[in-house]
Amino acid sequence: MLNFPVPYPDELIYSTVARAGVHMGLTSPKQLLDEVFANRKVIATPDLPCHLGRISGLYPESLKLDVKNIIYKHTLFPLYAPFVPEERRIQCLKWMAGQSKGAVHLALGVAASRIKQIRFLRYCPKCLETQLDHYGEYYWKRGWQVTGADVCQHHARLKKSHVELHSRHRHQFFDLAPHKHDDLFFIPSSTEEFRVAIRIDELLNLPPIKSPSFEQWGAYYKSLAEDAGCTKGKNVLHDIIFEKVISNWSAGWLKKHGLFPIDSNSCWLKSIFRKHRKSFSYLEHIVTLGTLLGDRWNFRSVFKEALSLTPKNIVTCPVDFSAHTPCQETLDIRKSWEVFLKEFGVKKARSSGGAAIYAWLYRNDRAWLMKINGQHRRSSRSKNKRVDWTKRDQNVLKKLEDIHQSSLEDFEGPRRSRNWYLNQLGAKATIETNLSKLPLAVNFFEKNCEDIPSYQIRRLALTIRKLNSAKESLQRWKILRLAGLSDERICAEAELYLKHMR
| Terminal-residue alpha carbon distance, the chain | 44
Work out the mean pLDDT of the chain and round it to a whole number.
84
Gap between the Cα atoms of 134 and 333, Å rounded: 79
**pLDDT of 190 higher than 70:** no
* Cα–chain center distance at 363: 38
Candidates 205, 203, 197; CA nearest to 303 is: 203
User: Which pLDDT belongs to residue 1?
Assistant: 60
- Among 30-34, 246-250, 348-352, 376-380, the range scoring the smallest mean pLDDT is 376-380
pLDDT digits (tens, 9 = 90+) for 264-282: 777 888 888 888 888 899 9
d(CA 201, CA 144): 10
The confidence score (pLDDT) of residue 72 equals: 92
Q: Please report the DSSP string for 26-44 in residue order.
A: ---HHHHHHHHHS-TT---
The answer for 207, left when phi > 0, alpha when psi is -120 to 50, beta otherwise, is beta
Exposed/middle/buried for residue 445 (C-beta within 10 Å: 0-12, 13-18, 19+): middle
Average pLDDT over residues 394-422: 86
Name which of 62-76, 98-112, 250-264, 373-387 the model is least confident about: 373-387
**C-alpha distances in Å from residue 95, one per residue of 7, 42, 88, 89, 149:** 21, 13, 10, 10, 27
Q: Count other Cβ atoms within 10 Å, centred on residue 38.
A: 11
Give the per-residue pLDDT at 494.
86
Torsions phi, psi of 486, nearest 5?
-150, 170
* Angstrom distance (rounded) from CA 483 to CA 499: 15
Q: What is the pLDDT of residues 432-475, one digit of tens each?
A: 888 888 899 889 888 888 888 888 888 888 888 888 888 888 88
- Number of DSSP helices (H) and strands (E) in the chain, helices first: 24, 4
Residue 311: pLDDT over 60:
no
Per-residue pLDDT of 9-19, as tens digits, reads 989 999 999 98
- pLDDT at 304 exceeding the cut of 60: yes
Whether 315 has a pLDDT exceeding 60, the answer reads no
Domain locations along the chain: 13-187, 212-308, 328-375, 389-448, 453-501
Q: What is the mean pLDDT of residues 483-493?
A: 86
Rounded Cα–Cα distance for residues 218 and 412 (Å): 62
* pLDDT, position 316: 42
More confident residue, 423 or 411: 423
- What is the mean predicted confidence (pLDDT) over 363-369? 86
Is pLDDT above 80 for 383? no
DSSP type of residue 279: -
CA 230 to chain centre: 35
What pLDDT is stored for residue 181 in this prediction? 47
Predicted confidence at residue 13, as pLDDT, reads 92
Cα–Cα distance list, 263 to 99, 243, 252, 268 (Å): 41, 12, 18, 10
Of 412 and 201, the one with more pLDDT:
201
